[in-house]
């Protein structure tokens, strides 16, 4: 069993609880264990860097130091948390002066960071560490025919194209969806920004960005948008009404977490994956798993949950 230090991040406690529970359920099926980082603090999101650079690094350093104490590598389901933790980790490894300063601060909480952990996004763990073959073996209810727009967003792959697939662009999200039987659509805006916190600070700009994304997903024929970030999910789902009012469009498309789709394909009950908490019901997904599972697909000895 693979073990990781799990950093849920603030959004997953309530707003994106369905991401949290579906991540944990799905990981368990894949023989991955998460140990929540003890007494973790906020990663600073994007606002901290607007106030003080070193302060932003301090917040992430504390989480890394606690994970190191547990002797585990870090996994973060939120793209912004991932990006912040990932880059603080890189900076600390590259810059002894910064590390010394951070360790001086960490002493106040009896912590010290040596720089021995790695940081990954949840999707990287599933795709790279677990692997698509192992995921395929757990699929009992393939999402056959479900047209999914794979929305990467920004901080899962940027900056500096860590695992961004070079000029051709990344493919791992599409590959993951194919592995669970779904059909990824050609979603040209899959790497464009959702507006992030601009929805709070500069609403008009964010709504325009959301309209472009939603319209492109619709045009591509998607029945559902899959995300890997709580803020992307919140923006794309909860502001569809505002987009429609602002631009006279008529868009209504469910937006779910990739872990919910994976869990559904693995036969986990929809309720245990947080389905039902969305504002736009995820009917296309539920209809897909309600069909009888393909008998040949039933894997060795695993219990197939009632759809």
Partner 1 sequence: MVTTAWTKPSFSDEITNQMYTTGTRGLNCCIQCATCSAACPAVDFMDHTPRRLIGMINAGMRDEVLDSNTFWTCASCFACSDHCPKGIHPSELMYVLKRYSLWKNRFRRDLVGPDFSRRFVRTIMRTGKSYEPGYAPAFIFEGGFEGLLRNMQGGLKLLAKGRIPLIPSRIKRVANFRRMLSRVVPLEGIE
Positions that interact with partner 1 (CB under 8 A):
10-11, 13-17, 39-42, 44-55, 57-59, 62, 87, 91, 95, 98, 101, 104-110, 154-155, 158-161, 164, 191-193, 195-198, 200-206, 208-209, 212, 238, 241-242, 277-279
Beta strands in 198-291 (DSSP E): 224-227, 255-257
Minimum gap (Å) between residue 169 Cβ and partner 1: 11
In the bound state with partner 1, the residue whose beta carbon lies nearer, of 104 and 292, is: 104
In the bound state with partner 1, the residue whose beta carbon lies nearer, of 50 and 290, is: 50
Minimum gap (Å) between residue 32 Cβ and partner 1: 25
Find the helix or strand (DSSP H, E) in which 282 lies. Answer: none
Minimum gap (Å) between residue 15 Cβ and partner 1: 5
Beta strands in the chain (DSSP E): 2-6, 32-36, 74-76, 119-121, 147-150, 183-184, 224-227, 255-257
Minimum gap (Å) between residue 182 Cβ and partner 1: 25
In the bound state with partner 1, the residue whose beta carbon lies nearer, of 41 and 178, is: 41
CA distance 44 to 57: 9
Minimum gap (Å) between residue 162 Cβ and partner 1: 11
CA-to-CA separations, 53 to 58, 83, 269, in angstroms, rounded: 9, 15, 44
158 — alpha (psi -120 to 50), left (phi > 0) or beta?
A: beta
In the bound state with partner 1, the residue whose beta carbon lies nearer, of 176 and 193, is: 193
In the bound state with partner 1, the residue whose beta carbon lies nearer, of 29 and 192, is: 192
CA distance 229 to 215: 20
């Amino acid at each position: 069993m693979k073990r990781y230090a799990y950093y849920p991040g603030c959004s997953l406690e309530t707003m994106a609880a369905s991401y949290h529970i579906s991540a944990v359920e799905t990981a368990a099926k894949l023989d991955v264990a998460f140990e929540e980082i003890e007494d973790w603090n906020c990663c600073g999101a994007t606002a901290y860097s607007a106030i003080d650079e070193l302060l932003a690094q301090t917040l992430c350093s504390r989480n890394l130091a606690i994970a190191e104490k547990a002797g585990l590598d870090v996994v973060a389901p939120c793209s912004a948390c991932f990006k912040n933790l990932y880059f603080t980790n890189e900076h600390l490894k590259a810059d002894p002066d910064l590390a010394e300063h951070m360790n001086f601060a960490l002493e106040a909480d009896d912590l010290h960071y040596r720089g021995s952990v790695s940081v990954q996004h949840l999707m990287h763990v599933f795709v790279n560490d677990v692997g698509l073959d192992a995921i395929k073996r757990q699929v009992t209810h393939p999402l056959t025919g479900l047209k999914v727009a794979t929305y990467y967003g920004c901080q899962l792959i940027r900056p500096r194209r860590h695992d961004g697939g070079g000029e051709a662009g990344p493919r791992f999200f599409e590959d993951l969806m194919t592995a669970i039987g779904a059909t990824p659509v050609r979603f040209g805006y899959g790497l464009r920004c959702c507006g992030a916190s601009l929805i709070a600070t500069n609403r008009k700009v964010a709504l325009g960005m959301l309209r472009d994304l939603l319209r492109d997903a619709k045009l591509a024929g998607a029945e559902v948008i899959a995300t890997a970030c709580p803020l992307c999910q919140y923006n794309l789902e909860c502001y569809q009404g505002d987009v429609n009012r602002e631009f006279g469009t008529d868009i209504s498309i469910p937006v779910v977490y990739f872990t919910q789709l994976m869990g559904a394909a693995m036969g986990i009950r929809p309720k245990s994956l947080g389905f039902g908490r969305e504002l736009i019901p995820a009917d296309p997904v539920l209809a897909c798993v309600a069909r009888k599972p393909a008998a040949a697909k039933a894997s060795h000895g695993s219990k197939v949950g009632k759809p």
